[in-house]
Amino acid sequence: MIVAFSVSPLGVGEDVGEYVADAVRVVRESGLPNRTDAMFTSIEGSMAKL
């Protein structure tokens, strides 16, 4: 299964890089196959691991 998501923090102004970087870090630390591009991050794995 592949899950794709984007991060859009609300109420933090225009500087959202820190929040996006935190989300990407969590995904990468999961060890699951993933890909991040300009629009979203996708993660691949079993339903139980996602």
Per residue in 1-50, pLDDT (tens digit) is 999 999 888 888 888 888 888 999 999 999 999 999 989 999 999 999 88
Tokens of residue 21, six digits: 């970087």
What does the alpha-carbon distance between residue 21 and residue 48 come to, in Å, rounded to a whole number?
24
Does residue 50 belong to any structural domain of this protein?
A: no
Whether this model's pTM surpasses 0.85: no
Does residue 49 belong to any structural domain of this protein?
A: no
Does residue 34 belong to any structural domain of this protein?
A: yes
What's the confidence (pLDDT) of residue 33? 97
Does residue 27 belong to any structural domain of this protein?
A: yes
